Structure 1
Amino acid sequence: MGPSVSAGQAAGSSGAQRPGRHRARRPLVVVALVAALAAGLGALIVGPTMGSAAAPRRTCEQFGSMGVSGDKYVIQNSRWGASTAQCITENGPTGFIVDTAEHTNNQGPAGYPSIYRGCNYGYCTKDSPFPAMVSQLGTVRSSWDTSGPTAVPAAVPATTTTKAATTTKAPAGTTTAPGATPTTAPAATTTAAPASRVQQYNTAYDVWFHPTKDYAGRPAGAEMMIWLNRTSWVQPIGKPYYDVTIAGTKWTVWYGAANPPVISYVRKTPVTSVKDLPIEAFTRDAMLRGVVKPTWYMQSVQAGFEPWTGGTGLTTKSFSVTRNGK
């Protein structure tokens, strides 16, 4: 996630702000020259041993980041919601592994280890097609392949709250998309965090919008999330409003009146990978609901995990995003 209120925080949370992300560090290229004198010949041996390769880079810094795939993308640790340890290691040209995550949160995400293309806090990835005006986006397609965690964390305390049944209404100024179905929030008791050893997290895109093109701060337009999967009690900020069909799949639309506002699309049938997901189709739907404005600029497309409890082993195998094929 970026530096706004998390779209994964519990519904009804206040507008607490996350720390700003640090500027991504550019990868450093170090050329090592090793000279040795062969016995009796004076031969000079230069460079690494044939077939050797540099070890994957790793960061445990709270907002540590690094360019990958020739700086076309950036991977970032982004541990904004907890003080527990979290580390990421690069995984091939466009991937990363959360190799350490000792989180025990039960009220919101510990962070958003992720990969992105675009502009984030004034740093733009190489040859970025973003920022781009929403009305002139064209096609924005993304493929993403992930896998779940591998370790089991310690149990967390159970906290239970009770809520009255409410029928949700669309926010003021919202236009209902064709075929949309209103959703009634369930009544009775909601268990926030059952005492168990099951890891809790979600896998989601995070797309940021701002009213102007060049902006080096926290985007102030809107945040749009696209959730591919989630565990039992993890949910977006706000409340569910409608079910819609986008890209041939059903999604539940959540809306949270945060700063900036957050609209989340939660896939009804969870998956761990997508191919050529039409990000522009979700953006159009968000425009219909009045959350995103056509004159705003899409700043970046990010993809990652929000670990609440545990998270070790969450993996992005590969990621790509293009605008109009580039």
Structure 2
Amino acid sequence: MPRLRALAATVGPKLGVAAAVTALVAGAATAVTTLDTPSAAAATALCDQYAKTTTADGKYRIQNNRWGTSAQQCIEPTATGFRVTQADGAVSTSGAPKSYPSIYWGCHYADCTTGFSPVQASSGTFGSVRTSVAMTYPTSGEWDASFDLWFDPTPRTDGQNTGAEVMVWLNHAGRPQPVGSKVGTVTLAGATWDVWYGNTGWNVVSYVRQTPTSSADFAVSTFFDDALARGWVQRSWYLTSIQAGFEPWTGGAGLAVTSFSAGTGSTGTPTATTSPTASPTATPTATASPTVTVTRSPRPTSGRPVCSATAKTESAWGAGAVQNVTVTNGGEARTGWTTVATLPAGQTVTNLWNGTWTQSGRTLTVKNASYNGSLAAGGTTSFGYQLAATGSTSTPATITCS
């Protein structure tokens, strides 16, 4: 699907990026050329823009997925993966990559692997979902090698996911870096990762391995639980696909997935250079904790549960910022919430996700969306917004929640 997943360090205001995302997403509905037989997977090169095939064992789908350039790209399916054999053209590293040639388990724009159903993160099944990959890399080009773990508030099998995209970067070459900004570091799956956060209409959480590797094997909940603790995914959301592949900006020929597996229980995967952690529960570093003033609303006389809201700036530039607000239920289970924030002078919200909102003067009122209003005692959810600013880009001085 069209993806704006990584940006060079020189990227400026995110308003321009959002426009690019809109254009890219609009191209996602382009029809694909599909090759569906195992024999095709073994012998036929995929050069059409959105050409796909099924692996010889019938478990996974392989896709050329070239959407960011008109230059030719071809991939050659193998018995256990694929290899990029041609990757013409180049695009600016200050924008989106050329493509995301990849192999996946799950659903990609209504094209689902056999027998797959979205897995809710609150289910017992989710904890047993694992994935692994082994890759080889060329010595030239600018690219990243990454997993793409997609989550949606609904059990979506078609269209663009609107919840979160959790990326796991195993390696990268050249200037590209993830969407948004670096917000901390964390140790997961036997390695240390830089954590990045941004939003392109959905939350993009990227884990960039500080020491590159050519293989990995982990439980999906390892990274999900860390993102959950940071307020960027929700336990009620659904895993809709696990994808592994490459985002090239320049070059890319020679990139290859030599082995891939995904599913519930044991995946029968190759030995990886990293070992999964003993517990799928991640412990985020202190740098990722929200760090602004929190105003708790008093318990109303009606007995409605108290809640709190915490705001944090994820990225900022001269004329705007992206901020995230975590809502925490401090009382008994509830079925709705409302936050009221006083914005600094000169701030205007231009886009908001995971909630419904109005702004009157400096007062921003946000109510829950249809899918994140129910909170158990101690439960959390979050929403985020992009703002334009003629003055300060700081977080609101006060936020109340009821």
Stretches (4+) displaced over 6 A: none
Q: Which amino acid aligns with 1:56?
A: A
Does residue 149 of structure 1 match 2:138? yes
- Of 246, 249, 257, which aligns to 1:316? 257
The answer (yes or no) to whether the contact 1:263–1:286 under 8 Å persists in 2 is yes
Deviation digits for residues 172-231 of structure 1, max 9, x if unmatched?
A: xxxxxxxxxxxxxxxxxxxxxxxxxx4111100001111111442111111110000111
Question: How do 1:279-290 and structure 2 match up within 5 A?
Answer: 279-290=220-231
Question: How do 1:240-259 and structure 2 match up within 5 A?
Answer: 240-259=182-201
CA distance 1:54–1:206, shift in 2 (3 Å): closer
SS, match of residue 287 in structure 1:
helix
SS, match of residue 58 in structure 1:
coil
**Residue 178 of structure 1 corresponds to which residue in structure 2?**
none
How far did 1:95 drift?
0.6
**Residue 125 of structure 1 corresponds to which residue in structure 2?**
113
**Residue 97 of structure 1 corresponds to which residue in structure 2?**
83
Does residue 71 of structure 1 match 2:58? yes
- Of 14, 19, 24, which aligns to 2:17? 14
Does residue 25 of structure 1 match 2:25? no
RMSD: 2.1
**Residue 378 of structure 2 corresponds to which residue in structure 1?**
none
**Residue 106 of structure 1 corresponds to which residue in structure 2?**
92
The answer (yes or no) to whether the contact 1:81–1:109 under 8 Å persists in 2 is yes
Q: Which amino acid aligns with 1:119?
A: C
SS, match of residue 62 in structure 1:
coil
Distance 1:54 1:225 in 2: 26
Structure number with higher helix proportion:
2
**TM-score with structure 2 length normalisation?**
0.59
Deviation digits for residues 229-280 of structure 1, max 9, x if unmatched?
A: 1113121111100000111211011011211120100001001112x22221
**Residue 138 of structure 1 corresponds to which residue in structure 2?**
127
CA distance 1:233–1:118, shift in 2 (3 Å): same
CA distance 1:123–1:24, shift in 2 (3 Å): farther
Runs of 5+ unmatched residues, structure 1: 31-52, 151-197
The answer (yes or no) to whether the contact 1:63–1:77 under 8 Å persists in 2 is yes
Distance 2:156 2:266 in 1: 23
What percent of counterpart residues are identical? 40
**Residue 238 of structure 1 corresponds to which residue in structure 2?**
180
**Residue 218 of structure 1 corresponds to which residue in structure 2?**
160
- Of 60, 64, 77, which aligns to 2:47? 60
SS, match of residue 127 in structure 2:
coil
How far did 1:29 drift?
7.3
The answer (yes or no) to whether the contact 1:56–1:89 under 8 Å persists in 2 is yes
**TM-score with structure 1 length normalisation?**
0.72
Name whichever of 21-30 and 202-211 sits farther off: 21-30
SS, match of residue 17 in structure 2:
coil
**Residue 35 of structure 1 corresponds to which residue in structure 2?**
none
- Of 232, 239, 246, which aligns to 1:298? 239
Deviation digits for residues 126-156 of structure 1, max 9, x if unmatched?
A: 133x410011211222221111126xxxxxx
The answer (yes or no) to whether the contact 1:103–1:307 under 8 Å persists in 2 is no
SS, match of residue 261 in structure 2:
strand
Distance 2:133 2:60 in 1: 13
Distance 1:73 1:55 in 2: 13
Runs of 5+ unmatched residues, structure 2: 268-402
Distance 2:7 2:247 in 1: 10
SS, match of residue 231 in structure 2:
coil
CA distance 1:323–1:24, shift in 2 (3 Å): farther
The answer (yes or no) to whether the contact 1:246–1:281 under 8 Å persists in 2 is yes
The answer (yes or no) to whether the contact 1:26–1:71 under 8 Å persists in 2 is no
Distance 2:2 2:112 in 1: 16
**Per chain length, whose mean CA-contact separation is higher, i.e. which structure has more relative contact order (CA < 8 Å, sep 6+)?**
1
Distance 1:106 1:98 in 2: 20
The answer (yes or no) to whether the contact 1:115–1:303 under 8 Å persists in 2 is yes
Q: Which amino acid aligns with 1:74?
A: R
The answer (yes or no) to whether the contact 1:221–1:292 under 8 Å persists in 2 is yes
The answer (yes or no) to whether the contact 1:255–1:261 under 8 Å persists in 2 is yes
Paired residue total: 252
